Chain A
């Protein structure tokens, strides 16, 4: 039992961990901030507004030591949600343990380390697919020798469901992903070690509110996993063939409207992973009831921990053998899922495996997510409090001043930058330079003769920073942009609403002289692109020209694109809570470039921030309660229409939008 936690600074997070352990939590689950996850230091341009937001910033071994201060690492079980930079964070953890006197053989825990789902759903990748897989394989080979109790990788189907995956897709893509990882590891470890590696691979799954089907999904996954072990990797030991998984229940289905309903959703989802013993989760994390509103506070997290404790200690759910054994309904549900998953795995294999199939899988996920949104918009799928039973009493839970969420102190970023400067000034720079040069040399060697974990641990000891480690490797491996999936998503036949929308867009086109053109993108490091993708696809399906630029954009990039592309409107999406810093920065950059096109913002934006954003010049703000995308499109069409009128009235360029402000002629 644990809660996913970390924010602000290493010291503040350490205090939070110690409190949680006192309350009966049995392990740690570390949340890192986005710069740490993507390999940037707090003083990097891309880190602006993101430091300490969705997790704790860890730049070097000093930060890791402070994070784990007073927590005996030889006894602790620590789960780290870290992927692209997993080898680096594990290296820092090993060094911090060394400083406490704990040997690496004693360390227990898990690094998420699943890069394929980052390309597909979560977006915090740092290097291209090939080198990313090499880092993973090296880390598996290293831990199996030197950190034998560590789970080096946690294959995530969780994020796939969050990105819209159906149960069949969730099973098939997770298994295909595991095959890609194991095949890569097979090249790096001795044959007799492969069985042990197989036994160390665990999964991180999702559980939605259709909890009977979700339970069947987990049974299907454990059958497939065992089959894979026996047939493909010749695993004989029963212990190693067990499907081990942790779970975080569904966040996608949690609503901003009547957020108290999320509590019963979370409880039901927890049942999916605990009811039947033969497919029961080994570790459970429950989200907080107010996740769709902003960052949860300690009290919100305590509530989620208490749900697990009631389930474990008050109910009888853990007292029986498998309660679905012999159930014909359960068995046929499982068979159906197995059949679908095997067929989909074959499609992935035809693409050349999971790494090669990333564009295919991404497109399929965007399509599934669109179908799901369509069902909710049409009312076919009921979401209580959101598209049905929407009338509500005033909620006392969200009535307090801050709207029921945690605010990260904005001074944290400046403090971290200052602390990092001190760290750099006080360390032995010569030793750091030498360690990074050795890392680059090992990375450049295509034969992969040296395991990259070795120079990585040496760099951690020498005092290198997260940004330095990652930029050294970026220089060797090149940078990468994952496919967006939106181009692959098919165009649906128009229903009544969409036809009306297309007519509105055509009328607007007449007025503008050009087809309405929208720029959709995500500033900052947050890689959760599902929302932005759905906006982009729907704008296209409404008949607009859509410039979709994907994730990790700087304000300068957004301004340059808006200007060069001559867009009529700009849509920005942010879910990481960094909108307070990033949106004004983007508005400044647009202003500087002379772009006057209106800006709309979507994301997890607390109520009290909406007014501030509007005042800063944002034309409209959309939050998770605005689930009807057609309505958002109609708003955008109206907004662009009004903007064109305004531009004409002011006598500026008849095309209405992003023209160069410096041009006297354009307003002649």
Chain B
């Protein structure tokens, strides 16, 4: 469905329609709604997402959704500041950017310190940039439901949606369920990523980035080791780039084009479709547990059910379809 939302659909549909019209000022209120767990808000959030389903948009959401992940201290925030500058200074027109920064929560109190915003350097009067910090919640290393839905929603309004997460392994896999392109950030000497790649704990990312190129020999050696590992895994197409975010920065423009090139090669519709189905399955399991899955006849039966659905449905609609199939 498309066209103007009906008034009785309320706040959610109106916000969805504004995002569809690429009204960036609707984004903060939309995120407030998508993050809410109250049942009234969840209903509105579903209406919001319906306005942004491929059916409503007449195709996939236009944004390039990029996942950026890597171990703490790898230099993600500094790198993102430099990328942000590059994206905002290119053009005209400069591309609009939404960044979802996922921070680990303190598991003891449930509270969290969301410090990434302070580390990303940008002009506060720039209306073309939105940064939203969210806590990972109980799901350490993974993405909260709200983050996936937020990425889907923002992709309708912004040119670029970046999801920043901490960690390697689990985090990288979950980001791949939402993003078109996944970049893993490694600092020189970062042996973990190399081992995870070789042992298959980690999926092969679309782009690998070695930061702190100013460190010289160590950065060069790390880059060489990663390239060798990728070759031995048969992943010759995955670029390994070296960047330095210190003034004068280097490698930033090359990284921006590598991300771009990956997107250009990609069958976006197919990737988004499988991402939506994967998200729906994750959400269904989060809601109904393994028991719900058994009621559907197991994981592969659930997958089959999902692939039988129309490709233009949004995630809540897919979850609803699964729920309707429960006996």
Contact = CB atoms under 8 A, between A and B. Distances in A.
Q: Do A and B come from one complex?
A: yes
Interface in A630-668: 653-655, 657-660, 662-666, 668
Given A563-B28, A663-B26, A668-B7, A545 B15 contact: no
Contacts of B10: 668
B31 interface: yes
Contacts of A539: 111
Nearest to A566: B32
A658 B27 CA distance: 11
Interface string A542-562: 111111111000101101110
Given A491-B106, A541-B106, A659-B29, A548 B125 contact: no
A100 B31 CA distance: 64
Which residue, of B17, B32, B131, has the highest number of chain A Cβ atoms within 10 A?
B32
B108 interface: yes
A559 B124 contact: yes
A513 B45 CA distance: 12
A665 B106 contact: no
A253 interface: no
Contacts of B41: 513, 654-655
Contact of A478 (B17, B119, B247): B247
A58 interface: no
Interface residues of B, number: 45
Contacts of B15: 663, 665-666
Given A556-B125, A564-B132, A566-B35, A658 B28 contact: yes
Contact of A549 (B36, B118, B247): B118
A479 interface: yes
Given A481-B118, A536-B113, A655-B36, A666 B125 contact: no
Contact of B112 (A546, A550, A658, A659): A546
A494 B109 contact: yes
A146 interface: no
A565 interface: yes
A279 interface: no
A540 interface: yes
B85 interface: no
A502 B109 CA distance: 7
A484 B29 CA distance: 29
Contact of B37 (A494, A514, A548, A564): A514
B286 to A, nearest CB: 17
Contacts of B113: 486-487, 536-537, 540, 546, 548
**Interface magnitude class on chain A:** 35 or more
Interface string B111-137: 111110111010011000011111100
A494 B106 CA distance: 13
A493 to B, nearest CB: 7
A515 interface: yes
Interface in B140-179: none
* Top-6 shortest CB links A-B: A665-B14, A513-B38, A513-B36, A560-B124, A655-B32, A540-B111
Given A491-B106, A545-B135, 18 more contacts: A478-B247, A484-B115, A486-B115, A505-B110, A513-B41, A536-B113, A545-B134, A547-B133, A548-B114, A557-B124, A559-B124, A564-B27, A564-B130, A566-B28, A566-B31, A654-B11, A663-B15, A665-B15
25 contacts: A477-B247, A479-B121, A481-B118, A484-B118, A491-B108, A513-B41, A542-B111, A543-B111, A546-B114, A554-B124, A556-B124, A556-B125, A563-B28, A564-B132, A566-B29, A653-B11, A654-B38, A654-B44, A655-B33, A657-B32, A658-B28, A660-B28, A664-B14, A665-B14, A665-B26
Interface of A: 476-479, 481, 484, 486-487, 491, 493-494, 498, 502, 505-506, 510, 512-515, 536-537, 539-550, 554, 556-557, 559-561, 563-566, 653-655, 657-660, 662-666, 668
Interface of B: 7, 10-11, 14-15, 17-18, 25-29, 31-33, 35-38, 40-41, 44, 106, 108-115, 117-119, 121, 124-125, 130-135, 246-247
